[in-house]
Amino acid sequence: MPRFRPLLLSSICLLNIAVVMSAARADHDGKLQILLMGDSTCIGSICRKTDPDAHHLEHVIRDLLKADNDIPATNVINQGRDGEFVHGLITSGRYDRDIKPLPGIDYVLIRYGLNDRGKRKDFAKNFPNDLRDLMARLRQDHPGAELILMPTFPYFRDQRDEDINTIVRAVAESENVPLLDVHKRFAAELKSAGPQALTYRRVPLKNVPEKFHLLIRPAIYGQQVIAMGNRYDTHLKDVPGWFGDRHPNLAGYHVIGDEIAKFLAPLIKKRIAEKDAASTSDQPTVRVAGIVLKWIRTEKETNYQRAQALIREAAAGGAKIVVTTESFLDGYAIADKSIPLLQYRALGEPIPDGEYFKKLAALADELDIHLVAGMMEADGNKRYNTAVFISPEGELVGKYRKQKLQHELVRNTPGDQSLVFDSPFGKTGLMICADRTEQSIVGRFNENGAEFLICPSGGMFGPRSNDPIVQSRSRQNGKYIVFVHPAEFLVTAPDGTIKSRTILGDRLLIPKEEIGGPLDQNRVFYFELPVSAMSES
């Protein structure tokens, strides 16, 4: 057996500075903020040196949590540092510089001990006090964060690991904080996969016989040989120290990340459930219906008749607010620039004097509903992508003009106001499609007093390209968002969780001859939207 070399958690200065600067950017942006604190076995700087584009610890945790639809988007911040120990973190000023200012931290996972054992005088006495000091600072500076202590994984693989972990467990119990026992999981994986499976190999190049240098050239980094796995074990297993480095390799970080994600998921869901219970207890609701309906390009009468049937169904189902998609009347004709300009412009109409606005107003009056409908507005020579808000009396409560137009700018004019409209259910903000991607736009609804947001939409949809954006906007602004799209109905809560989501096919648009066919998937979806107050409509 090669002799296990002493603990050396050294800095790789330039690389580590770059990694930490990147990881330190706490992009609040409406996401759950998860902070990782620890030493080189947390930051994994060697893995970042050999495989900069790989999934590192924070990425593993983030993407495993992202796969759970009941958990909002997360931002996992890795603040591990090579060679760090708790007392040094505090006395060097790094805590005040890098940890204290981070915004909106929700969870802090703390894993120290390896360097503390080697660097802290009177380790057995001072290390537990250092942990308590760190936790007290975190509680003061991040009062909304839940603290979680972690024992170290099997690093020394002897009594030294247990000496560290006994202290960590005792502090967790005395401080009444959760203990995430990554040591147990890592040890089990080592037993299953082999003692060297989850750690990398790192030795000085000068220790490797020259006859192997050409063979191992991909693993040579300056004057070191670094291998993430067992590729070169056949040749180099007898090189002194070849199996001596016990830092996790990429596979090891996947084990640690998987255990962290499994531990965090129920904690996050429990916190969300408790917030929901507190926020919705005895809270009134209003039934909102989304009309998920495929577009027929430029066919206003056809689109109106198709939507009318579903709007009637929604009213019969008890909906008090009914929402169509973006530009449902013209079938989002702006997407097709081959439509002659005059024909395109003729699809718009003045509001409230246009033919189809009057039809929609009469329908809202007949059915006694609030109706939010997407249509093209003609105002003189200008065309707007507009959503109208119509009262149960058939009156125009207000209209909202889409602000973020992108490709639409060649024919449409952008709006410039994040308008909020009074209703019996509270102040209602309307936005359209791409507006949701801009916090500067959505934030102004918040500033103007919106109590919930409705977003008729088209374009991107689904859990990969759309839903995390809507979740972030909800959480960032503390608002419910109702998102209605030709292929999706989505409702996100103020904490960013998904309250309702259905994907209906993969088409936004169908040709007229496909009406009633297998591609023509449409449906009314309902959601009981919590509101702050209800008045007589």
CA–CA separation, 42 and 150 (whole Å): 11
Rounded CA-CA distance 423/451 in Å is 10
Task: Return the structure tokens found at 228.
Answer: 């993430």
Whether residue 259 contacts residue 182, with contact meaning beta carbons closer than 8 Å, is answered with yes
Q: How far apart are CA 431 and CA 440, in angstroms?
A: 12
Burial label for 537, CB within 10 Å (0-12, 13-18, 19+), is middle
Ramachandran class of 176: left when φ > 0, alpha when ψ lies in -120 to 50, beta otherwise: left
Reply yes or no on whether the pLDDT at 406 is more than 70. Answer: yes
Contacts of 155 (CB under 8 A, 6+ apart): 7, 41, 114, 161, 246
d(CA 459, CA 335) in angstroms, rounded, equals 10
Local confidence band at 69 (pLDDT 50, 70, 90 cut-offs): confident
Residue 234 tokens read as 């056949």
Predicted confidence band at 278 (pLDDT cuts at 50, 70, 90)? low
Burial class of residue 346 in the structure, from the number of CB atoms within 10 Å of its CB (0-12 exposed, 13-18 middle, 19+ buried): middle
Residues 385/401, Cβ–Cβ less than 8 Å:
yes
Q: Tokens 């998920």, residue? A: 292
Residue, of 60 and 3, whose pLDDT is higher: 60
Three-state SS for 251-288 is: HHHHHHHHHHHHHHHHHHHHHHHHHHHHHHCCCCEEEE
Among 162, 161, 132, CA closest to 147: 132
Percent of the chain residues topping a pLDDT of 90: 83
> DSSP secondary-structure letter at 4?
P
Strand 220-221 relative to strand 224-227: parallel, antiparallel, unpaired?
Answer: antiparallel
Contacts of 482 (CB under 8 A, 6+ apart): 288, 290, 323, 452, 453, 454, 455, 490, 491, 527, 529
Residue 132 burial (CB < 10 Å; 0-12/13-18/19+)?
middle
Neighbours of 317 (CB within 10 A): 13
For residue 15, the model assigns a pLDDT of 40
d(CA 498, CA 465): 15
Q: pLDDT tens-digit profile of 173-184?
A: 988 899 999 999
**pLDDT score for 452:** 97
Kindly tell me if the per-residue pLDDT of 23 is higher than 70: no
- Of the candidates 71, 95, 75, 100, which has an alpha carbon nearest to the alpha carbon of residue 85? 95
CA distance 486 to 522: 8
Q: Where are the alpha helices (DSSP H) in 194-335?
A: 233-236, 250-280, 300-316
Contact criterion met (CB below 8 Å) for 317 and 524:
yes
Confidence of residue 29 (pLDDT cuts 50, 70, 90): low
Q: What angle do CA 169, 171, 174 make, to 5 degrees?
A: 110
Taking each helix axis as running N to C, give the angle between helix 439-447 and helix 467-477, from 0 to 180 degrees, rounded to the nearest 10. 40
What the block records as the tokens of 451 is 């109590």
For the ranges 131-145, 176-190, 424-438, which has the lowest average pLDDT? 131-145
Model pLDDT, residue 54: 97
**What is the reported pLDDT for 464?**
82
- The answer to whether residues 435 and 441 touch, using CB atoms and an 8 Å cutoff, is yes
Helices (H), 24-96: 40-43, 45-50, 57-66, 86-91, 94
| pLDDT surpasses 60 at 478 | yes
Per-residue confidence band for 283, with pLDDT thresholds at 50, 70 and 90:
confident
- The domains located in the chain, with CATH, are 13-195+249-275 (3.40.50.1110), 201-244 (no CATH), 282-530 (3.60.110.10)
As given in the structure block, the two tokens for residue 316 are: 């019969």
Helix (H) or strand (E) holding 456: strand 452-456
What confidence tier does 106 reach under pLDDT thresholds 50, 70, 90? very high
Mean pLDDT for all residues in the chain: 92
Q: What is the pLDDT of residue 25?
A: 39
Please state whether the predicted TM-score (pTM) of the whole model is above 0.85.
no
The CB density around residue 341, as the number of other CB atoms within 10 Å, is 10
Whether omega before 456 lies within 30 degrees of 0, making that bond cis, reads no
Q: What's the CA gap between 277 and 402, in Å, rounded?
A: 35
